[in-house]
Chain A
Amino acid sequence: MTNSAPSLDSASPRLRTRPRHGDTPSNTSEHLLEVRDLRVTFPQPGGAVTAVRGVNYHVDKGEFLGIVGESGSGKSVSSLAVMGLLPSSAQISGDILFEGRSLLGRSDRELSKLRGEGISIIFQDPLSALTPVYTIGTQIAEALQLHDRNLSKLAANARAVELLKVVGIPNPERRAQAFPHEFSGGMRQRAMIAIAIANNPRLIIADEPTTALDVTIQAQILEVLQKAKDLTGAAVVLITHDLGVVAGNADRIAVMYAGRIVETGTVDEVFHAPSMPYTIGLLRSMPNLATAGHTRLVPLEGRPPMLSNLAPGCPFAPRCPIAIDACRTTEPPLTPISGKPLNASACLRVDEIASGKLNRTGIYPVPEPVALEERAEIVPESVLGVEGLVRHFPLTKGSVFKHTIGTVRAVDGISFDIRSGQTLGLVGESGCGKSTTIMEILELAKPQSGQIMVNGRDVAAMSTKERRALRRDIQVVFQDPMASLDPRLPVQDIVAEPLTVHGVPARERLQKVRDVLDLVGLDPSMASRYPHEFSGGQRQRIGIARALVTDPKIVVLDEPVSALDVSIQAGVINLLEDLQEKLGLSYLFVAHDLAVVRQIADNVAVMYLGRIVESGPAEDIFNDPQHPYTRALLSAVPVPDPSVERTRRRIILEGDLPSPTEDITGCNFRTRCPLYQLMDAAAQEQCRTADPERRIVKGSSVACHHAEHIGLMS
């Protein structure tokens, strides 16, 4: 459509006032995008499912709209409808107006002219979203040439390199020649953003753009997205399940539940004065770095309804603590809140909430802590000790004659100690070695180097029989509650499986299964059902019940809540806390979500490239981190509070996690260390040559030469 390829220099003012060709838009609506009463229905063998049930929203030029919702809320479906990318079987009604012109009912060919040029989209999983057989540069150039037939291949490639530079990919000339599988997740997402902004669209839809990424990479991507928005002047619709992600960036927010928008408003209003009970509950159930650890989480009971089988009335009514009879018969429309023109809420009792007649904090009861007499007595002793644990994998190359070319230092000498009744949170980004660590521990085998002590006994020195007996004491709960339960076995067999190993008679097994199911809050009469009959949260409770059935002392929790929806997480975290109190359990809690760790851990160990860089009491580490990596990690975590988000300064780490094969002399964090940049030559020399030993600084044990100067970073 445009003959010249406009440059993306931020100084170029013509970007925003670029003349548009084609038919003149009939400017009946002043909004850039307006969605009116959108409904999307998918015909299914078991009856049609209406995934989007009457959604209205609009986006203005240059605006940043956040759409928040849990899985199944219809947030992605509604955005795919805007792009015209839904399957042809989907039945769409309502209207979608872009620049005043309706998009529904247009042919694929007409829409394809608009896609990429007027509206572009960034998808969640950047690995599967890029064609594996074409280079990154080709895929960006393709986007350019599709909308500018006169653009030569050479010019398109040059522009592609330029775009890669804009989104912050180092060595763009060389990297443009690379294939998607040679890029890291964060780099792929940058390339996706480059494709999205290639034709200077007026609207960018970002569909969960950071969900698959680590928190430090997420911070980078959000920054690139903001930069892309500033450069192109495009409006952005950011779709996410994470309230924290939109808190800092968005102008307005729409909260979706069961296929509808249930609350919308300016970001401050929605976060500080939410008026829909669902939003209130969601905000209260989220572990929040700023508040976690002191108060109990407030769970949002129940689960979202099945859209295929929707009862009349407000879909949130079954979970709503303040639902009245009217809620169960009429579904409230999205009505504006008096006095706040931008805000609207779909709740019959919105006036009572908005006026303060109903106290927001009082809507959801705070669960009681475990009564003192129910608490287990704890003898303080070490139940799990790890000393200098090492796990290296040889890296081989060559397809004909294999030879070792390097070593992957997955776990490179880590030590920690867990006492009975305590929780150690092991945190770090993916690839830091935390999963390898727990796998090594759970194998109960002799490690390559170092020592694993369970109940004070070295596992390396055990016989097979002793080792099997020891497995009673150490059990595991996995991340994905669906994958960790065999779909072909009834729940009672799943939960009883650890007992069969130890030769417990059948009758005793059954009794024990009923006991633990009761303990985790499941009805023992459901023991004969199969896993698929349970919800995600319930399945995770089954996984916990299986871990508890042998009366273990230690439970290894591998990301136990990260696969669950936000509103379900709180209930499982509370359960884990209660069980610990009642049974005197010790937890090794592995997670990447720092807020969750903050909520449950007594002690924290932060891992980076196979090492523990900082460890100590959770309180100290979260309040006053001494290692630059910990500090950067904490600062990257988005906080679901717009005023906090706007005022704080983020420390953005540069680049990706280095490959664990790389041999970095001295301190292995120095390649990305913000503190290193600030130090003088002599101090930098020390970082380059000497591997820092862990030492105590202000209560925590830190592996940094210059921890005393950490203050320079803020």
Chain B
Amino acid sequence: MIGFIVKRFINYAILSAIATLSAYVLASLILNPAGRYLGRNPRPSDETINAILNGLGVNPNTPVVARLWTWLVNLVTHGSLGDTIHNTSVISEMAARAGTSLRLLILGTIIAAIFGVVLGVWGAVRQYKASDQVISYASFTILAMPSFVIGILLMIMATGLNNILGMQLISFTGEYTAGLDGGWWTLFLDRAAHLLLPTISLALMGAAGYSRYQRSAMLDVLSADYIRTARSKGRTRGSALVRHGVRVALIPMSTYFAYSFATVLAGAAVTELVFSWHGMGEMLVQAITESDINAFTGAILFNAILVLIAGTLSDVVYAALDPRVRV
């Protein structure tokens, strides 16, 4: 079992590393950091621009391989990811933003997983009954919405609710109310209120996807011979499905979790942008619009590490659930 997980971890680590490095190379080839200075008035001299770009290590005149090497050496020797175009270090920028993104991601994923599994199992057991139809159509509808539409619809609804109540019950712009005074408790409540809509938005999307997958995994299990065996021993149908069925139907979910995680990341980034959160998603998009190669690579590295963790975690769950992979 340890061997299996170590192998999968190494596999994910290599994939994440290569993804980050190729992101760096691609960004270096596509983005033009010099463009930002050329449009300035007065236009800085070529020497100045070159000096700035050299300082950041993003001068297009240096071969990409050489720049990549410098970047890598910096990372290994100083633990540095270089500076952003605003002359702050990428690491500090990430440190300021990572918490915001993680809060949303972790909460959203956990809620999505719980609801997805429960609704999926329920739908499968009640296949083609009214409750299954409702769950199915609801999840299809949610899956048919881009994440920004969900976010904006939630905001429209919250505005409506706030108007009806005549008070700011649900806040949804930004991550907290700027300049709010008060004790620890007030600040916590404020943050929780701001967290509500983005989390719902992310959890809705995740739960819709997971429930469809869990439903079909559970349907496969419903017809399995061992359910029949469990019933022949004296279990009722419901108890056989719970004790024997769900346990087995969770196994493919752990793999699906790893594969769907990239989608979740994209959804989280979009959600951050829609709700004006200063998270890693915003950093990534801003980096591209500002042609900031170092910041972009940093953001990608952050995502790659999350994929690495999520992938390994799902393999641990997989190995824990399925005795057949335990060597």
Contacts and interface: CB of A to CB of B under 8 A. Distances in A.
Direct contact of A and B (CB under 8 A): yes
Interface of A: 83, 85, 108-109, 112-117, 120-121, 123, 125, 128-134, 142-143, 146-147, 179, 181, 192, 195, 198-199, 397-400
B4 to A, nearest CB: 5
Contacts of A147: 234
A192 B225 CA distance: 12
B85 to A, nearest CB: 41
B236 A132 contact: no
Interface stretch (B24-32, B87-95, B181-189, B318-326): B318-326
Contact of A399 (B6, B234, B323, B324): B6
Given A132-B323, A398-B3, A123 B236 contact: no
Interface in B224-242: 224-226, 228-237
Given A129-B228, A130-B229, A400 B237 contact: no
B324 A123 contact: no
Nearest to A195: B233
A85 B232 contact: yes
Contact of A108 (B4, B7, B237, B322): B237
Contacts of A116: 232-234
A195 B236 contact: no
Given A116-B233, A130-B226, A179-B324, A399 B4 contact: yes
Contacts of A114: 234
B285 interface: no
Interface in B210-269: 224-226, 228-237, 244, 247-248, 251
Nearest to A198: B233
Contacts of B10: 400
A143 B225 contact: no
A147 B234 CA distance: 7
B322 to A, nearest CB: 6
B228 A179 contact: no
Contacts of B321: 133
A216 to B, nearest CB: 24
Contacts of B247: 131, 133
Interface residues of B, number: 27
Given A83-B232, A123-B232, 5 more contacts: A115-B234, A116-B233, A128-B226, A131-B230, A131-B247
Contacts of A142: 230, 233
B323 A181 contact: yes
Interface in B298-327: 321-324, 327
Q: Which among B234, B247, B327 has the greatest number of chain A C-beta atoms within 10 A?
A: B234
A146 B233 contact: yes
Contact of A85 (B224, B231, B323): B231
21 contacts: A83-B232, A108-B236, A115-B231, A115-B232, A120-B232, A120-B233, A125-B225, A129-B225, A129-B226, A131-B248, A133-B248, A133-B321, A133-B322, A142-B230, A143-B234, A146-B234, A179-B324, A192-B229, A399-B4, A400-B3, A400-B7
Contacts of B230: 131, 142
A132 B324 contact: yes
Contacts of A115: 231-234
Interface string B1-14: 00110110010000
Contacts of A121: 232
Nearest to A182: B323
B324 A112 contact: no
Contacts of B4: 399
